[in-house]
Amino acid sequence: MCLILLAHRIHPSYHLILAANRDEYYHRPTAPASFWETEPQILAGKDLQSGGTWLGISRNGRIAALSNYRDPSRLLDSAPSRGGLVTEFLLGDLPPARYLEKLRQRSRDYNGFNIIFGDRKNLYAYSNRGEVPPLLQPGIHGLSNHLLDTPWPKVTQGKKALADILLKGGEPSVEDIFSLLADRSLPADCLLPDTGVGLDTERLLAPLFISGPVYGTRSSSILLIDQDAGVTFIERTHNGTPGKDSTRTIRFKIEE
């Protein structure tokens, strides 16, 4: 994924409000969010090329979301798929703090990544490209293709937009959240990071919603976990044609 926004333990009705855009090459085969036939305890989309996922939740409340760290100078051709880390955590039974230790021991095998993982009570963040405080504090956080809460324009803009939605009070508007994820506005060049991909590509990747000729935002997702352990997972799949998006909503109760 290229953008993850989350309100963690600050809403009176929800432990977690997570909004995310998954950006990928249009030709990469993908299955939409569902409970997997092979692993029915997992609710997630699926990368049909490598078998992993970028965002998911299990029936017992384990949560994980992944973004790549943009660092083209350090790419490893033989590195394992980073999406497998999300699947591994969702299927496992290690407490999040123990899983963090496991990540640290073998993270050098992977290309750059960030992962947010945990359960509805505690979330952890880890990157194999720099240290961040591992236990997420209550608040609004944002993650793109650098470290957690790095103030790239899309992260700063997304966090503010999510905060503004929540400030309205009451039930957060799902359509307002999808609207913020659909923002295609382009920041000024002077605000863009320099990650080694060139200015034209930095511009392409700068909006919250990416719409390039061969690469762009493939899906937008909202994950809500309420105070009674109810889960609402909403995924909007983008087909590249205005008005042709498809939305699916899945609800279930976490099995304690």
pTM of the model: 0.96
Cα 57 to chain centroid distance, Å, stands at 12
Question: What pLDDT is stored for residue 244 in this prediction?
Answer: 76
pLDDT above 90: residue 178? yes
- Side-chain half-sphere CA neighbours of 1 within 13 A: 31
Question: Can you give the residue ranges of every domain in the chain?
Answer: 3-253
Asked if residue 69 lies in contact with residue 129, where contact means CB atoms within 8 angstroms, the answer is yes
Model confidence band, residue 209 (pLDDT cutoffs 50, 70, 90): very high
Q: Tokens in use for 154? A: 């899309």
User: Which strands sit side by side in the sheet containing 3-8, from one edge to the other?
Assistant: 139-143, 3-8, 14-25, 215-226, 230-237, 246-253
Q: Which of 146, 148, 247, 158 is nearest to 193 (CA)?
A: 146
Fold (topology level) of 3-253? Penicillin V Acylase; Chain A (3.60.60)
Task: Quote the crossing angle between the two packed helices 174-181 and 153-167, to the nearest 10°.
Answer: 170
pLDDT above 60: residue 9? yes
Summarize pLDDT for 103-118 with one digit per residue, the tens: 999 999 999 999 999 9
Percentage of the chain modeled with pLDDT above 70: 98
Rounded to whole angstroms, the Cα distance separating 128 from 147 reads 10
Summarize pLDDT for 223-243 with one digit per residue, the tens: 999 999 999 999 999 976 556
Summarize pLDDT for 55-90 with one digit per residue, the tens: 999 999 999 999 999 999 999 999 999 999 999 999
Q: In sequence order, which ranges of the chain are alpha helices (DSSP H)?
A: 83-91, 96-106, 153-167, 174-181, 199-205
3-state helix, strand, coil in the chain (%, to 5): 25, 35, 45
Rounded to whole angstroms, the Cα distance separating 109 from 87 reads 17
Rounded to whole angstroms, the Cα distance separating 4 from 113 reads 13
What average pLDDT does the segment 84-102 reach? 96
